[in-house]
Structure 1
Amino acid sequence: MQDFRTLKLLDRFEKVFSSFGVDYKIMRKILQVKLTMDGRRVPTIFSQNAKKKDQESNNQYIKSLWIYVLFGLFMIPFVLMDDNYLFQMSLFFGIFTFFVMTSMIADFSSVLLDIRDRNILFPKPVDRKTVNTAKMVHVAIYLSFLTIALVSIPLFVGLVKNGLLFFLVSTLNIILIDLLIIGLTALIYLFILRFFDGEKLKDIINYVQIGLSLMIMIGYQLLIRSFQFIDLSVSLEPQWWQIFIFPMWFGANIEMIMNGSFQLFNLLFTALGISIPLLSIWIYMRFNHVFEENLQKLTYHGKAKENKQSKLRQLLLTVICQSKEERAYFRFASSMMKNERDFKLKVYPSLGFSIVIPFLFIMNGFDTNLNDLSTSKSYLSIYFSLIIIPTIMILLKFSGKYKGAWIYRVAPIQQLKPIFSGTIKAFIFRLYLPVYLLISAVFLAVFGVRVLPDLIIVFINAIIYAVICFMILKKSIPFSESIDQYNQNSNSAIVFGLMLFVALFAGLHFVSTLFSYGIYVYMVIAIICLVVLWKLAFNITWKKLME
């Protein structure tokens, strides 16, 4: 195996590890194996572009770091701003946290939740502290590479502009943020592992990953709104809730050191920025053995769930799907969407974002009081919830259990129409409709019952949009292709083109509100278009599918 430069650098700290009772030589061997395996594991951001042959011969993770260097260039303007360090560096650390946290969720949750060490090493004469330390160092190495790629150029620019003290304090803050991210992520998983087990635990972990993504997005908006912009100057009015926006902790200590602003606000945030990261890592190390013991729950698959359907649900299914074949594929697609973990991990965050985005656009574009908001046409921002439909329509053909698709060939399937129509109906009613109803309930509370016809039209347009996406996108049997083949980068241009239809729907909707009863005329036209497109879209044969 290759003797990595990282391990040679780590050798200089051998005495430090040994002083904590860690068998350094064994830990080094474990890390060598882990780093070798990392060379074969493609990061999520590039997992769709690497061929298997390349994966086996090259370290794909190291090769992927250039994209993070590119992201880091967008952070340079924040270190070149004037001397309001609290504002500029809070944004800087907020963006850094966003990139590191999303990468942590996407790529290294699997490392924190890895149980192979237990199965392979624990039966061997290897000290458990050594195994657990190897896992922590492994994550630290990963974050070090990622951090250097992201902030090395911006911090060098900051060194030239603001001096050595700025560079040293910023570097210390970056290290503390990395410790905080590792500690908080591990402690959240520890809490979940403590109270749940088996299949339910795996589902909850997926939801936590989704929740973390949403918290990052909402937190970034709160960070921006903490500051007021008046005549090109930035001011901050301290609020109690700002204590939970931790990038401000680290912006405050730079403001205090560079500008000598020793206000109580800055002192409190500086204390939090130092103590909380160290405390989170100490708690994680203190309870690391509990974390490892509870990881064994991930091997428990639980009992098979009994699928009970109420009479009301069966009645609704009969109304939604006309034929027995379509109902069968509706139930099958619903089951896959509910139980396919790889599918959920890619789709559910998008659904979560679709809930938040309409409200973010209202917040960013409307700063008047609630009464003025309720009489406006800002409810049209609900069209932003449609932008996730193309991505999910593309993902419907992928699955982690794609090898089971042979059943389509051996089953006595005469027509493909019920397969596609049943799957799209399952997506609309199982995934999109709950999200849409949640947004609609809030919009009805804010804008009043007057927007109910508008919300009905938006849902009809959403179904039309899903059908149009199906007609334009390449056809494939649902859940029949490996999810590893999903190429987000190659599909981005198609998705962007399809989003133009959302703008068209929203534009027509806005025009219809300018006329008396125009909204009802638009509703009738939309229903007619939906009926016509639905009849034309699914007339697909096996021959056309193979072309």
Structure 2
Amino acid sequence: MQDFRTLKLLDRFERVFSSFGVDYKIMRKILQVKLTMDGRRVPTIFSQNAKKKDQESNNQYLKSLWIYVIFGLFTIPFVLLGENYLFQMSLFYGIFTFFVMTSMISDFSSVLLDIRDRNILFPKPVNRKTISTAKLVHVAIYLSFLTIALVSIPLIVGLVKNGLLFFIVSTLNIILIDLLIIGLTALIYLFILRFFDGEKLKDIINYVQIGLSLMIMVGYQLLIRSFQFIDLSVSLEPQWWQIFIFPMWFGANMEMIMNGSYQPFYLLFTALGILIPLLSIWIYMKFNDAFEQNLQKLTYHGKAKENKQGKLRQLFLKVICHTKEERAYFRFASSMMKNERDFKLKVYPSLGFSIVIPFIFIMNGFNNNFNELSTSKSYLTIYSSLIIIPTIMILLKFSGKYKGAWIYRVAPIQQLKPIFSGTIKAFIFKLYLPVYLLLSVVFIALFGVRVMPDLVIVFINAIIYAVICFMVLKKSIPFSESIDQYNQNSNAAIIFGLMLFVALFAGLHYVSTLFSYGIYLYMVIAIICLAALWKQAFHITWEKLMG
């Protein structure tokens, strides 16, 4: 097996691991096997996009880090902003936390919840602490690659502008944030594993991942609103709830060290920024045996639930799906979206973001002036919820149970149209519609019943957008490809291009509101466009699909 550079670097800390009771040589072998397997296959947690025949001995994950380097470039202005380090570095650490935490939720949770080590290594004469430490170091290795990609250039810029002390403190803060994220994620899962089991546990884990994603988005807004802008200067009014915004902990120690501001709340935030990350990792290591023991609950799959179809549901299905074949694929796709855990792991956090994003735009546009808000046209921010559609449309072809796709070949399928149309209708009504209805209720409460025709147009445009995405994206039978092959980074460019249609829809919608009855004319045009696109979009043959 290949002797990786990361392992050679890790060798320098052998005494540190040994002092904690870890058998370093065995841990190194475990890590070497894990890293070798990462290069030979395409694990979901590392979002590789290479097919098996194209894989090399090196890890494809490293080749996809360029997108994070680009994201990191957007944080450079916060390093150059000035000398209000509490403000600018809190934002810097907040953005960094957002990217790392979302990556931790979507990618590395699968490592923390992996039970294969337990099944393979526990019967062997291997120290349990060695196994758990190998798992933690495995996550840390890839998280360090992500961290370096995100912050290396901004920190070098900060070194040139603010000096060596800034660089050293920032580096230590980044390490502490990574430790905090790993520790908190593991402890949250430990808490869930303690009280739940089987299928219910797996569902709760999905919901926790959505909740964490939403907390990140809301926390970022609270961070911004902790500061007041007066004549281009930034001031902070300390509040008790700011203790829970942990990027401010690390911004406070930067302010204290770089500007010598030793105020009491700076000292408190600095202490929290040092103690909490170390404490979270210590608690995780302390209770790791219980964590590993409770992981066994994930092997319980529970009893299959009976899916009873009510008369009202059957009637609704007949209304939206005109043929028996389309209804069958609608039910099949709905079942896959509901029960496919790998699919939900990728999709559900995006659904959470789509709920929050419109309100973030509204909050940024209005500062507690609800009278002005209710008479404005800010309800058009609901279009931002459409940006999840391209990502989910791409994900519809992936599944953790993709090997069952042989059923498409042996089934007496005459046309592919009902497969695609039924699947897209299932996506619209099972995934997007609940998000849309929730947003609509809140928007009607905020803007009044006057926006109901506008909301109808938004839903029509959402369906048009889904069809356009289907027509533009590469075609594949739904749920027929391994989800291990999904790579969000490789699709970033085409997703960004498709998002321009959202801006187009919103722009046309705004223009229609400038004329009397323009909104109703726009509605009629949208319905005609939808009918025309729907009629042409799904005429796909097996030959065209395979070619």
TM-score by length of 1: 0.92
**Higher mean C-alpha displacement, 379-388 vs 15-24:** 15-24
The 1:535–1:51 alpha-carbon spacing in structure 2 relative to 1, beyond 3 Å, is closer
Q: CA deviation at 1:246?
A: 0.5
- Matched residue type, 1:208: V
Q: 1:405 to 1:313 in 2, by over 3 A?
A: same
- The corresponding residue for 2:404 is 404
Q: 1:291 to 1:363 in 2, by over 3 A?
A: same
Structure 1 residues 511 and 115: alpha-carbon distance in aligned structure 2, compared to 1, 3 A threshold: same
In the alignment, the residues of structure 2 paired with residue 274 and residue 152 of structure 1 have an alpha-carbon distance, to the nearest angstrom, of 22
Number of aligned positions between the proteins: 547
Counterpart check, 1:37 vs 2:37: yes
2:512–2:518 CA contact under 8 A, matched in 1: yes
Aligned mates of 2:110, 2:394 — CA distance in 1: 25
* Farther-moved stretch of structure 1 (143-152 vs 181-190): 143-152
Q: Is the CA contact (8 Å cut-off) linking 2:51 and 2:485 kept in structure 1?
A: no
The residue identity in structure 2 corresponding to 1:253 is: N
Contact 1:43 1:61 in 2 (8 A): no
Give a deviation string over 1:38-77, Cα, whole Å, max 9, x none: 4435576974543435534213344555554454444333
Aligned to 1:435: 435
Aligned pairs (5 A) from 1:12-31: 12-31=12-31
Q: Deviations over 1:122-148 (max 9, x none)?
A: 111222122222222333333344434
SS in 2 for 1:123: coil
- Once the two structures are overlaid, the 10-residue window that deviates more, 190-199 or 145-154, is 145-154
The structural deviation recorded for 1:245 is: 1.2
- For 1:375, the aligned partner's letter is T
How do 1:385-464 and structure 2 match up within 5 A? 385-464=385-464
Q: Does 1:120 align with 2:138?
A: no
Corresponding residue for 1:480? Answer: 480
Percentage of matched positions with identical amino acids: 90
Matched, 1:52 2:64: no
| C-alpha distance in 1 between matches for 2:136 and 2:469 | 44
Give the corresponding residue for 2:266. 266
Question: Residue 40 of structure 2 aligns to a residue in which SS?
Answer: coil
2:523 is equivalent to residue 523 of structure 1? yes
CA change 1:463–1:271 in 2 (3 A) is same
Relative distance call for 1:83 and 1:118 in structure 2 (3 A) is same
Q: Distance in 2 between matches of 1:215 and 1:173?
A: 21
**Cα distance in 1 between the residues matched to 2:318 and 2:26:** 62
Q: Give me the whole-angstrom Cα distance separating, in 1, the residues matched to 2:87 and 2:327.
A: 55
SS at match of 2:307: coil
Contact 1:41 1:60 in 2 (8 A): no
Contact 2:106 2:345 in 1 (8 A): no
Q: Label 1:484 to 1:136 Cα distance change in 2 as closer, same or farther (>3 A).
A: closer
Describe the shift of the 1:338–1:262 C-alpha distance in structure 2 as closer, same or farther (beyond 3 A): same
* Partner SS, residue 2 of structure 1: coil
Q: How does 1:192-207 map to 2 (within 5 A)?
A: 192-207=192-207
**CA deviation digits over 1:368-398, x for unaligned, max 9?**
6101100111001111112222332233233
Match of 2:303 in 1: 303
Give the Cα separation in 2 of the matches to 1:371 and 1:120. Answer: 63
Q: Which structure 2 residue ranges, 5 or more long, are not aligned?
A: none
Distance in 2 (CA, whole Å) between partners of 1:262 and 1:199 is 51
1:45-84 to 2 correspondences below 5 Å? 47-52=47-52, 55-65=55-65, 67-84=67-84
Q: Closer, same or farther in 2 for the Cα pair 1:457/1:114, shift >3 Å?
A: same
Partner letter of residue 503 of structure 2? A
Q: Point out the more displaced range, 433-442 or 478-487.
A: 478-487
Instruction: Determine the structure 1 residue equivalent to 2:163.
Output: 163
Superposed CA offset, 1:469-490 (max 9, x none): 3344444332233334445455
Could you tell me which residue of structure 2 aligns to residue 336 of structure 1?
336
Distance in structure 2 (CA, Å) of the matches to 1:63 and 1:540: 34
Looking at structure 1, the residues matched to 526 and 271 of structure 2 have their Cα atoms a distance apart, in angstroms, of 58
Q: CA deviation at 1:90?
A: 0.9
Equivalent residue runs for 1:84-483 within 5 Å: 84-367=84-367, 369-483=369-483
TM-fit CA distance, 1:350: 2.2
Measure, in 1, the Cα distance between the counterparts of 2:48 and 2:145: 21
Shift of 1:255: 0.8
Structure 2 counterpart SS, 1:228: strand
Question: 39-48 or 249-258: which moved more?
Answer: 39-48
Change beyond 3 A, Cα 1:368–1:24: closer
Q: For residues 159 and 372 of structure 1, do their structure 2 counterparts lie closer, same or farther at Cα, with a shift above 3 Å needed?
A: same
Task: Give, as a single letter, the amino acid of the residue that structure 1 aligns with 2:100.
Answer: V
Q: Is the 8 A contact 1:355 1:385 kept in 2?
A: yes
RMSD: 2.6
Q: Which secondary structure does the structure 1 equivalent of 2:55 belong to? A: helix
State the shift of 1:187 in Å: 0.4
Provide the C-alpha distance between the structure 1 equivalents of 2:446 and 2:246, rounded to a whole number of angstroms: 31
Distance 2:138 2:366 in 1: 46
Paired with 2:283 and 2:343, the residues of 1 have a C-alpha distance of 33
SS in 2 for 1:514: coil
- Matches of 2:152 and 2:462 in 1, distance apart? 44
What is the DSSP-based 3-state SS (H/G/I as helix, E as strand, rest coil) of the residue aligned with 1:57? coil
- After superposition, the C-alpha distances for 1:210-229 in whole angstroms (9 at most, x for unaligned) are 33233223322222222223
Q: What is the CA distance between 1:499 and its match in structure 2? A: 3.0
User: CA, structure 1 residues 131+539, in 2 after alignment: closer, same or farther (shift >3 Å)?
Assistant: closer
8 Å CA contact retained: 2:49, 2:486? no
More moved, 527-536 vs 83-92:
527-536
TM-score by length of 2: 0.92
* More relative contact order, 1 or 2 (CA 8 Å, 6+ apart): 2
Change (3 A) 1:287 1:313: same
Distance in 2, matches of 1:471 and 1:145, equals 36
Say if 1:491 and 1:240 are closer, same or farther in 2 by CA, change over 3 A. same
Relative to structure 1, the CA distance from residue 451 to residue 506 in structure 2 (aligned partners, 3 Å threshold; closer, same or farther) is: same
Q: Distance in 2 between matches of 1:147 and 1:184?
A: 17
